[in-house]
Structure 1
Amino acid sequence: MDAPPHLVHPCRAGHDDGAPATAPHSPDTGVSPMNRPPAFAEYNIEERWTTLQGSVLVGSMLEDGPGPHALVPHRHDFVELVWLSQGSGTHRIDTAEFPARPRTLHLIAPGQVHCWHPDATPVDGTLVLFREDFLIAQGGAGLQSWRGGMTTPSPATATRLDRLVREIRDELDGDADDREVVARHLVSAFVTVCQREVARPAPPQHTVSADFQRLVRERPTVAVSVAEWSRRLAVTPKYLTEVVTADTGRSPSTMIRSAVRLEAERMLAATTLSCAQIADTLEFDDPSYFSRFFRRETGMTPSSYRRRHGTLRAA
């Protein structure tokens, strides 16, 4: 079944052979790309059919989702909301596992690693996918702080989500001149209701703080200091520290360490990369430095963490 014109496949758009699409290069931040193969398949929404600013996809998990890629640990550069109508088994987001049952709402933030482990019943439901910048334009909810997770909405909220999905689909199927604004309003309403269920909505973020968090998430590394990130964002280290701390309650250096720790946990749990390879990916000077860092941040050695949380075994 061909996708309607307003649906852009996040995994195969422009790739007729079914291979995962390659994520586009991030905006130039002055940081040279790493010449390493990614630890996880990374998918992006390509602006090919939609005329909406930023990209948005509203479709079926089975018909418009990633297909067999859903069973393999992967991540995206967009927000993914999954409103399940049927399912079984579990859904792993980073190192947390959630039941994949009907009438559950799953939110995957940009950069999070996730995969589905269905049992007898295939996972299906409504996908709402969009880039973070989609909600910034007219009619949008503005900058958000996305938190991945799962919840079971109340019956009243579930009915409301069903109604919003129908309205979003109707708007995207229409040809009104102002459908961009109306669709963005509706997606913003859907997102706001979902955020209420998954986590308390975060206050709006300062643009510099949001840019810093995005860059650190896209390139978790110990090789770039707070001073260097400040230079690339064209602000002083003092100013960056002030706005990031005010928005998040954490200093930039703490957020850098947390991003590196989280990425290390993801690779230990969902890949067979060796500690030396992970250390190299995160740009540590040597594997022993990485091991000391990881133990200091988590209280566990990398090998102990992998034994406890790993889902794959080396061949």
Structure 2
Amino acid sequence: MSRKNNTSRETIPVYILEDFKEVHRHDDTGTGFGYNSIEEDKKINGFEIYSSAGVKPVIGPLKSDFYRVCITIHGTADTQIGLEEFHHVPSSISTTYPGQLYSKSNVSKDISGYYILFKETFLEEMIPADKIAAEFPFFDYAGVPFLELKEEEMKAITDFIFRINEELHQQKTGNGKAIRMHLYLLLLEIKRSYLAQQLHVDARDTQHYLPARFKKLVSRHFLTQRKVSDYAAMLGVTPNHLNRIVKDSTGRTASAAISDMLIQEAKAVLRHTDTTISEIAYRLDFSDPTSFNRFFREKTGITPLAFRKNA
């Protein structure tokens, strides 16, 4: 499978859009919606859209080089983005940006919805790739990647989904540009709901701000920052205060959250690559393979090798 080359400390393979279908879907369902079943010449470079029919019930943890918008109409599913966990219910949306650690599980049998995948450059006729996070805050690392919508808000979004599907299959003149415009307007509708719910406002006076911000920072820096004091300094609080607030909010210590992120990373590398245990240990900055084995077994109850065999 083609993946982006990793030249930094990052160890999880980053899936590219063109080779991602087999990872998240079963064989074509023949529903006729979007890319569920589509002729090659109708595909639009840098963009894919699917209904939930045929989606695999468990995905990841993994990373990808594209944006993702997941829309749930009926049913439920659990999503984890970095250290943040979200429960999809009817009329809910989650989003991810390139490079985020993502997983999905517990998909209910009655799940119904849509998801859109697109490359960073897909909307460049309307917005430069490096401005997407500023334009759409739910794609920013400090933003909230999950929201629940009112019925009329969801209808506005699904209307754009149906228009995109129509353009995709009818192959009218200029359909590529039309799809880009409809996608931009769809993201704008999500942004309007996001702002209406004031999800862009830092709730610094609440007990939820610090733990949420801490989780985002850990998801971003865990490969190089392993101490609670590192994150306390970023947040402008003492390590003791950070530990207390995080434990009161989550029931787990701040150091446990850092370990959780390391375990997620290690599991993804073990599951998706043939990298040796020794190499994983060194890339995750353990002093030696024995230390990594001990850490992994302590946190999961099994050795890295046993996990790989059963993955």
Q: Following the alignment from structure 1 to structure 2, what is the Cα–Cα distance between the partners of residues 49 and 219?
A: 41
What is the aligned partner in structure 1 of residue 186 from structure 2?
190
Matches of 2:267 and 2:4, distance apart in 1: 26
Distance change >3 Å, CA 114–CA 196, structure 1 → 2? farther
Contact residue 73 and residue 113 of structure 1 kept, 8 A:
yes
Aligned partners of 1:90 and 1:262: how far apart in 2? 17
The Cα of 1:276 is off from its aligned counterpart by 6.3
Distance 1:130 1:220 in 2: 27
- Kindly indicate whether residue 127 of structure 2 is the aligned counterpart of residue 125 of structure 1: no
Residue 97 (structure 1) aligns with: 85
**Correspondence 1:43 to 2:4:** no
For residue 193 of structure 1, give the secondary structure of its aligned residue in structure 2.
helix
**Could you tell me how far apart the structure 2 residues matched to 1:196 and 1:43 are?**
30
**Can you give the 5+ residue segments of structure 1 that lack an aligned partner in the other structure?**
1-20, 202-216, 223-248, 251-259, 291-301, 308-312
Give the fraction of aligned pairs with identical amino acids, expressed as a percent.
16
For structure 2, the 5+ residue unaligned runs are 20-39, 134-138, 202-218, 225-233, 236-257, 301-305
- Superimposed CA distance per residue, residues 220-256 of structure 1 (whole angstroms, 9 cap, x where no aligned partner): 976xxxxxxxxxxxxxxxxxxxxxxxxxx99xxxxxx
2 CA distance for matches of 1:178 and 1:197? Answer: 29
User: Which has the larger displacement, 183-192 or 280-289?
Assistant: 280-289
How far, CA to CA, are the matches of 2:122 and 2:259 in structure 1? 29
Deviates more, 1:86-95 or 1:280-289: 280-289
Residue of structure 1 equivalent to 2:50: 59
1:83 maps to 71
Q: Are 1:100 and 1:123, in contact at CA under 8 Å, matched by a contact in 2?
A: no
Residues 95 and 269, structure 1, Cα contact 8 Å, conserved in 2: no
Shift of 1:263: 6.4
Structure 2 CA distance, aligned partners of 1:92 and 1:153? 19
Give the stretch that moved more between structures: 191-200 or 145-154.
191-200
Task: Map 1:151-190; keep pairs closer than 5 Å.
Answer: 151-190=147-186
What is the alpha-carbon distance in structure 2 between the residues aligned to residue 188 and residue 304 of structure 1?
A: 46
Once residues 95 and 71 of structure 1 are traced to their aligned partners in structure 2, the CA distance between those partners, rounded to angstroms, is: 16
Distance 1:109 1:266, change over 3 A: farther
1:268–1:306 Cα contact (<8 Å) kept: no
TM-score, normalised to structure 2, is: 0.54
**Which residue matches 2:2?**
22
| Paired AA for residue 121 in structure 2 | D
Counterparts in 2 of 1:132-151, with a 5 A limit?
132-136=120-124, 138-140=125-127, 142=129, 143-145=131-133, 146-147=139-140, 149-151=145-147
Deviation at 1:78, TM superposition (A): 1.0
Equivalent position to 2:102, from 113, 135, 138: 113
Residue identity matched to 1:181: K
State the TM-score, normalizing by the size of structure 1.
Answer: 0.53
Higher helix share: 2
Could you tell me whether the CA contact under 8 Å between 1:140 and 1:185 is conserved in 2?
no
Matched-pair contact (CA < 8 Å) for 1:141–1:188: no
Deviation readout 1:145-182 (Å, 9 max, x if unpaired) = 22462211122211110111111112222323322222
Distance apart, 1:288 and its partner CA: 10
Relative distance call for 1:74 and 1:221 in structure 2 (3 A) is closer
Say if 1:139 and 1:181, in contact at 8 Å, map to a contact too.
no
Q: State the shift of 1:134 in Å.
A: 0.6
Cα offset for 1:98? 1.3
What amino acid is the match of 1:160?
A: A
Cα distance change of structure 1 residues 172 and 268 upon mapping to structure 2, 3 Å threshold: same
More deviation in 102-111 or 127-136?
Answer: 102-111
1:23 Cα offset (Å): 1.8
Q: Which amino acid aligns with 1:22?
A: S
Aligned length: 218
Trace 1:199-278 onto structure 2 (pairs within 5 A). 199-200=199-200, 264=262, 266-267=264-265, 278=280
